[in-house]
Structure 1
């Protein structure tokens, strides 16, 4: 490793603090600072968002590993070894490994998609202390994926690039047309991010639903036009009230089993608990597009006949492309994408376990950002 910046005491000692996941619990430990390999960069973590998938990973470790094994044929990580999570981050360049160009000076703030360009590539946030995610003072990134963060973009906003890109990818997967009326079920971080993306693109009116008063208020702030408490009103009936049209050119594609008169529906399922897909299929109008962005880690079932009779298009979505990530960074830098209200608290590494506990019980918090250097 060619060290190009040794201004921090930690680099001199070769040790750092990190939060590890082991045996279903989180613990703050001291571990060696990782060493970058070829074409990799050592960076100092400035901010890391706590993602809903991290909560799922801790609470449903076995289910996640089993699903990943079915899809990829490989183990995502060893359940009996420590894992350093965190894949939504902003960092600054500290040191370059071999075979790097070193074009970004030390201290440059950067963002990056959460993986290393190794063979096979490595998902950051699911590796051990030698390849840590963002719940650590330092981590490794691939030089070819680094994107400089403009000076006017705060660390925490740059860290939100990853979840905002997940939302942008979900909207892209929905292939919404100019007459589509979106309905967002669940206003957690991904649901709110979807609302922000839809608002930025001028798609609407946007209908959003959540049981939490604070999340409903956040949905309004981020651009939802109609916000519904499902305990008091049907989100689907509220959607119909704003989607009615007498213009045949704006109506959803015809289905002889159901009367016309509604604009096309794009329903985003952003809850991710058993039963939600069936609930959405039952409530959604005919010929809807249902985009499943909620990550359910438990077995689930639904009635295909409901979707068949309604001719519903069912789409599952996760992750994103590199082009989409760059697009979101550009929108954050230009101010076209406004997401600052989503950050409801900042914590240090020692407070991560408590932050996980808070986020597992929906309430006032939406996105908690970890600031390793203090907050």
Structure 2
């Protein structure tokens, strides 16, 4: 049987290891994809912190390695006889939570591998074809941009809404792009890292706030005008807040600033937080909207990602060869060291 290289969590926490494993053999309903680029997600980093995942009790509860990666783009190299609408040579992005089963995130297959088996391959459900002119690294943004798109869809933002996105990582910046493409007239991005704020302006944000140095309330009032909560207390005129940071300070800042009828869309994985000011939420009738994954958006985003590829390409801060994946994860493990890292595979 042919062999391939695949990236797993290492034998100790915060390390990775490239292992040689059997190359998957596709069945009549499957497709085999040669991976050409795969993004690194915060979920991958979480598995690194654990050193893997706990095995079943009958295995003694030991930590077992995890195959990493769920943001792939690649080229089809084998197609099962029963697969329709797909051919060898097609460039594809893959749904890592689709009908073919989970990819990465503790599953049997990870996309940070030379090859990926897409079981029960179905175009439009488990994978989608994209044009040859789109670089593989940009195409690998499809999955995280679907996460951002779902958050924006959940917000039901309208053109006249005034919006602020807290957190200028890939999801926050992706949300800002989708908001502008949706026609929202004024989008602010807030973060504590100047380089991220510069990138926010480059991808189309109308204004930025350095929340480590600036008065968020004053700046939002300056940008969005003044409104009030249900008690008539002055509040910025911001209509929709996005939490793409997951820090307690963001949640509390939103509650403290929300006008009557404002919305908060929570898309970040929340870190351990302090008590929530429920009274503040009541005084503003703040609507909390949770956004998880991409129930319908995974391939909804693909045509627009293709159309606006130059804009989305700005989100990538580092491109690292697969052979140097350990270096890529060193950056990913260091807060503020990188924004969006894409692992690339040789031609």
TM-score by length of 1: 0.81
Q: Is 1:152 the equivalent of 2:133? A: yes
Question: How far, CA to CA, are the matches of 1:285 and 1:59 in structure 2?
Answer: 39
Counterparts of 1:298 and 1:353, CA distance in 2: 28
Correspondence for 2:66: 83
Between Structure 1 and Structure 2, how many residues are aligned?
A: 335
- Map 1:287-302; keep pairs closer than 5 Å: 287-298=261-272, 301-302=275-276
1:158, distance to aligned residue in structure 2 (A): 1.0
What per-residue deviation string (whole Å, max 9, x for no partner) do you get for residues 114-147 of structure 1? 13525xxx3211245xx32211101122411221
After superposition, the Cα gap between the structure-2 partners of 1:352 and 1:235, relative to the gap in structure 1 and judged at 3 Å, is: farther
C-alpha distance in 1, partners of 2:47/2:241? Answer: 26
Q: 1:332 aligns with which of 305, 309, 318?
A: 305
Seen in structure 2, the aligned counterparts of structure 1 residues 236 and 87 have a Cα distance that, compared at 3 Å, is farther
CA distance in 2: counterparts of 1:79 and 1:91, whole angstroms: 34
Which residue of the other structure, out of 231, 235, 252, is the alignment partner of 2:212? Answer: 231
Q: Deviations over 1:150-181 (max 9, x none)?
A: 11211111111111111110011111133211
Question: 1:128-277 to 2 correspondence within 5 Å?
Answer: 131-141=108-118, 142-144=120-122, 145-244=126-225, 256-258=230-232, 263-277=237-251
**Corresponding position of 1:278:** 252
Aligned mates of 1:260, 1:211 — CA distance in 2: 25
What runs of 5+ residues in structure 1 fail to find an aligned partner? 1-12, 66-77, 246-251
Taking the aligned partners of 1:310 and 1:103, their CA distance within structure 2 comes to 51
Query: Match of 2:42?
Result: 52
* Cα separation, partners in 2 of 1:36 and 1:305, compared to 1, 3 Å: farther
Match of 2:336 among 337, 347, 363: 363
Work out the CA distance in 2 between the residues paired with 1:125 and 1:368.
Answer: 17
Tell me which residue corresponds to 1:349. Answer: 322
Which residue of structure 2 aligns with residue 30 of structure 1? 20
Q: Is structure 2 residue 97 aligned with structure 1 residue 123?
A: no
Q: Tell me if the contact between 2:158 and 2:183 (Cα under 8 Å) persists in the aligned partners.
A: no
Q: Shift of the alpha carbon at 1:102?
A: 4.9
Give the drift of 1:89. Answer: 1.2
Give the whole-Å Cα distance in 1 for the aligned partners of 2:238 and 2:260: 9
Moved over 4 A (4+): 259-264
